[in-house]
């Protein structure tokens, strides 16, 4: 009886989402389930997977990233670059419009990018635009918005001047943070921009047609735009996004044709395999051990080195489940540098430390402990997650085996963990290292002294110099400096790679063409095909 009621409710939801549309009989929809609810679809503020997924399908920047990772033209039909590589002139396509059929002009891009860099906006990915002239100064409040290197000539020309060349610049212009924003409409929402379907207008292949924010049936419908004139024409008439559906029902819903696809939690991976669903696995982020350089015990370089050298990856790997595997890299090789993967420049690199032997390492550890007057006890914090907790237990097992240490385990929310970085609550922590843009530079820049993303509070002039040396360099040279920065964090025994996590997407057998963008870590639905419709 409960199953019949559930099927009936699912039918009502889908019918209500599909009822008010101009779709023809030949059109089809694609449905997708996510495990987090979007708070906003304001491009400049989009941060979670669901928010970025909506934005990247409903908006389009000057450039866009294709499913294969290449960067191509978006709202711009062409661009030119000055001889010194620091002045870009973008020409917009003719006939650009917003979903409310008002004209989209160059000023909308100027306003969108400027708004992203205003300190009061607090855009989570603002630092991805720091190569723009005076961008960092505007963002930290030491320069006026009028000094930003973004301007226009007429309605179809956007000019962007850079402080330094950056191989990731064009890709950054395809990110949500660089999407256009119509100032007049933004102001008319009185602070509610992006919080409901009536408080957002779009310029991408889809627009937000419906957004049910009722706690019992949270869903959003993206409908094919009739005003879009770009190259990413939408094939499905609509995309139905469902949020916070019961994860345990995802495999059943897909296998019984109640749902087309969705984010698959790792604990249900085996069930999906049994049901013969199509599964795509994509590297998401790494989990690393952070040994605080200002910790009570870990302020000692020698202690940190001993703790790092005692970690046995085989012990860690023994308890890993689907979606996790050990890694020897802080930045995943699949992340992006310019037009290529980081791994294409850093192949055959393995971050590992020579183990001098259990007895010798224990002697070094105890000698240094006596020198600094420390105790052989440590608190290891970690983000609350069953697999991360198991990894923490494996690390504790290694330390207890090598040094006889007393290890106190402390599970915390991610926000709690980072807010405690400056306190003495713990000396070591297992933290996620990655970002939704899958940018190698952004990962490492998050540990630079002045970065707004520096949640660990790390401060090193030497490290900052390595990253600043990458400015105004070609892509391959930038990758080399990034590798130097990655090795620096590892060799100083500050950040030790442990395991990498993958995310799974499950599909019905009739679904094809859904593009997982490695540059975003989200889904492109514009070329999805539903053979059963």
- Looking at residues 141-166, what average pLDDT do you find? 97
pLDDT of res. 527: 83
Average pLDDT, the chain: 90
Angle between helices 358-372 and 386-403 (to 10 degrees): 90
| pLDDT tens, position by position, 342-376 | 999 998 899 998 878 899 999 999 999 999 998 99
Residues near 87 by Cβ (< 8 Å), separated by ≥ 6? 81, 159, 160, 161, 162
Helices (H), 95-237: 106-117, 135-139, 169-172, 183-188
| pLDDT tens, position by position, 131-153 | 999 999 999 999 999 999 999 99
> What percentage of the chain has pLDDT greater than the value 90?
74
Q: CA-CA distance, 239 to 208, in Å (whole number)? A: 10
Q: CA-CA distance, 239 to 28, in Å (whole number)? A: 9
pLDDT band at 231 (very low <50, low <70, confident <90, very high): very high
* Backbone φ, ψ for residue 91 (5° rounding): -105, 120
pLDDT band at 36 (very low <50, low <70, confident <90, very high): confident
Phi-psi region of 12 (alpha: psi -120 to 50; beta: other; left: phi over 0): alpha
Domains of the chain: 22-245+524-530 (3.40.190.10), 283-503 (3.10.105.10)
Residues counted in the chain: 533
Rg of the chain on CA atoms, in Å: 25
Question: Strand 206-212 and strand 219-224: pairing?
Answer: antiparallel
Q: CA-CA distance, 463 to 496, in Å (whole number)? A: 16
Counting Cα atoms < 13 Å in the Cβ hemisphere of 60 gives 34
Give yes or no for residue 200 having a pLDDT over 90: yes
**Tokens 């939801």, residue located:** 13
Give yes or no for residue 91 having a pLDDT over 70: yes
| pLDDT tens, position by position, 385-433 | 999 999 999 999 999 999 999 999 999 999 999 999 999 999 999 999 9
**Residue of 455, 436, 444 whose CA lies nearest to 342:** 444
Q: What SS3 class is residue 54? A: helix
- Looking at residues 164-187, what average pLDDT do you find? 96
**61-70, 147-156, 304-313, 426-435: which range is least confident on average?**
61-70
Question: Strand 87-92 and strand 157-161: pairing?
Answer: antiparallel
pLDDT of res. 421: 93
* CB contact at 8 A, 113 and 135: no
């Amino acid at each position: 009886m409960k199953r019949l009621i559930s099927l009936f409710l699912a039918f009502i939801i889908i019918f209500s989402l599909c009822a008010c549309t101009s779709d023809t009989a030949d059109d089809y929809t694609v449905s997708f389930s996510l495990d987090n609810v979007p708070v906003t679809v304001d491009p400049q503020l989009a941060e979670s997977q669901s928010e970025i997924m909506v934005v990247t399908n409903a908006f389009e920047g000057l450039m866009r990233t294709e499913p294969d990772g290449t960067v191509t033209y978006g709202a711009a039909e062409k661009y030119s670059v000055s001889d010194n590589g620091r002045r870009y002139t973008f020409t917009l396509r003719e006939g650009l419009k917003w979903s409310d059929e008002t004209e989209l002009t160059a000023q909308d891009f100027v306003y969108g990018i400027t708004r992203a860099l205003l300190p009061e906006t607090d855009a989570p990915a603002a630092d991805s635009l720091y190569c723009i002239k005076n961008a960092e100064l505007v963002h930290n409040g030491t320069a006026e918005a009028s000094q930003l290197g973004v301007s226009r000539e007429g309605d179809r020309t956007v000019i962007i001047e850079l402080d330094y060349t950056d191989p990731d610049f064009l890709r950054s212009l395809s990110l949500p943070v660089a999407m256009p924003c119509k100032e007049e409409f933004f102001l008319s929402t009185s602070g509610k921009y992006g919080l409901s379907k009536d408080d957002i207008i779009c310029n991408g292949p889809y627009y937000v047609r419906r957004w049910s924010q009722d706690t019992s049936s949270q869903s959003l419908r993206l409908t094919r735009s009739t005003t879009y004139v770009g190259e990413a024409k939408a094939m499905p008439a609509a995309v139905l996004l469902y949020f916070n559906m019961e994860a345990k029902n995802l495999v059943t819903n897909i296998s019984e044709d109640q749902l087309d696809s969705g984010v698959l939690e790792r604990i249900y991976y085996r069930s999906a395999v049994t049901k013969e669903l199509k599964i795509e696995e994509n590297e998401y982020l790494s989990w690393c051990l952070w040994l605080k350089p200002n910790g009570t015990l870990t302020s000692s370089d020698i202690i940190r080195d001993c703790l790092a050298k005692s970690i046995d990856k085989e012990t860690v790997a023994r308890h890993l489940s689907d979606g996790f595997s050990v890694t020897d890299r802080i930045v995943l090789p699949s992340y992006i540098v310019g037009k290529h993967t980081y791994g294409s420049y850093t192949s055959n690199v393995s971050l590992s430390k020579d183990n001098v032997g259990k007895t010798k390492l224990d002697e070094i550890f105890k000698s240094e402990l006596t020198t600094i007057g420390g105790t052989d006890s440590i608190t290891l914090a970690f983000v609350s997650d069953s697999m991360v907790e198991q990894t923490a237990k494996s690390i504790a097992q290694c330390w207890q085996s090598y040094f006889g240490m007393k290890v106190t385990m402390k599970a915390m929310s991610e926000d709690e963990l980072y807010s405690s970085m400056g306190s003495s609550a713990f000396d070591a922590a297992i933290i996620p290292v990655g970002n939704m843009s899958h940018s190698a530079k952004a990962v490492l820049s998050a540990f630079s002294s002045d970065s707004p993303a520096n949640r660990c509070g790390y401060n090193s002039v030497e490290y900052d110099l390595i990253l600043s040396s990458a400015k105004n360099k070609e892509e391959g040279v930038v990758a080399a400096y990034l590798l130097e920065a990655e090795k620096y964090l590892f060799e100083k025994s500050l950040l030790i790679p442990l395991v990498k996590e993958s995310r799974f997407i499950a599909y019905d057998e009739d679904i094809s063409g859904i593009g997982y963008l490695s540059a975003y870590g989200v889904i492109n639905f514009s070329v999805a095909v539903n053979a059963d419709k």
